[in-house]
Amino acid sequence: MRKFPLLLFMKRTLFALLLICCYAVTAWAQDRKPAGTFRNGTYIKVNPTTLINELDVYIEQELTEKLSLELGITGIYTDYPDYYLAKKIDFGQKKPNISTEQFVEGRGLGFRAALRWYIFSIYDGNSRAGGTYFQPVLFVKKIFYPNEEVELLGNKYKESASKDVYGLQFLLGRQFTKGKVIFDPYIGLGVRSKIYYYHNFENNNGAVQATDDKLVSVLPSLQLGLKLGLKL
């Protein structure tokens, strides 16, 4: 009667060994795939074309040969470009009551999410258009401007401001690799909504009056840039 438990143990052990062997053979076969074979690659990228005011870092994860998910985080260390758009370019739009110094010293954080569809797979080595993609992007940013001190009627007051940005972009680009280095130029169109909040003080006929205002600006945008990165 003792032979049956031993036989069962041997069968289970053999089955486990077969599973381990199958896993090892599969892993070896994947490692032996020829160049250009899909491997669920992961890429980390930065955007040098936005370094004038922010640092954009992206992670792209391939889901299939023609579909990937790209997530990004943005660190904003100045909002000076928006100073030109809001203060220097005038086409009849309303302008926020935010000073130049506040724009220059603005700090913030942003997040992006995109689903990328490769029209021609990056793994198609026979196609000159390999890596061409279409990509809708959703993003949000929050920018805080420093308080600014003003003096009215012998008293000092602190004015504050902030900005929310929401946007949608449609990009067309081509990602290609040189070894592990990634080049990702793109062009596209989009629309973004900027919501400015500012708390100001003014002299109203000899009395200090506080105002809380909000300005909403919705404008189209042109996207043109280059991401550089590495394949992990």
Tens digits of residue pLDDT in 66-81: 999 999 999 999 998 8
Which 8-state DSSP code applies to residue 85? I
Bigger pLDDT: 211 or 50?
50
> From CA 228, how far away is CA 216, in angstroms rounded?
33
What's residue 204's pLDDT? Answer: 80
Residue 209 pLDDT greater than 80, yes or no: yes
Domain boundaries defined on the chain: 1-32, 35-231
Mean pLDDT along residues 175-179: 87
User: How many Cα atoms within 13 Å fall on the side-chain side of residue 46?
Assistant: 6
AA identity, residue 111: F
Q: Tell which phi-psi region holds residue 9, choosing left (phi > 0), alpha (psi between -120 and 50) or beta.
A: alpha
Query: Please, which pLDDT band fits residue 130 given cuts at 50, 70 and 90?
Result: confident
Residue length of the chain = 232
What's residue 15's pLDDT? Answer: 55
Beta-carbon contacts of residue 136 (< 8 Å; ≥ 6 apart) = 114, 115, 168, 169, 170, 171
List C-alpha distances in Å: 100 to 81, 105, 138, 144, 205.
11, 9, 28, 14, 26
Query: Please, which pLDDT band fits residue 92 given cuts at 50, 70 and 90?
Result: low
Q: Is the pTM of this model over 0.85?
A: no
Tens digits of residue pLDDT in 94-120: 788 888 889 999 999 999 999 999 998
Q: What is the mean pLDDT of the chain?
A: 83
Residue in 72, 172, 68 with CA at minimum distance from that of residue 123: 68
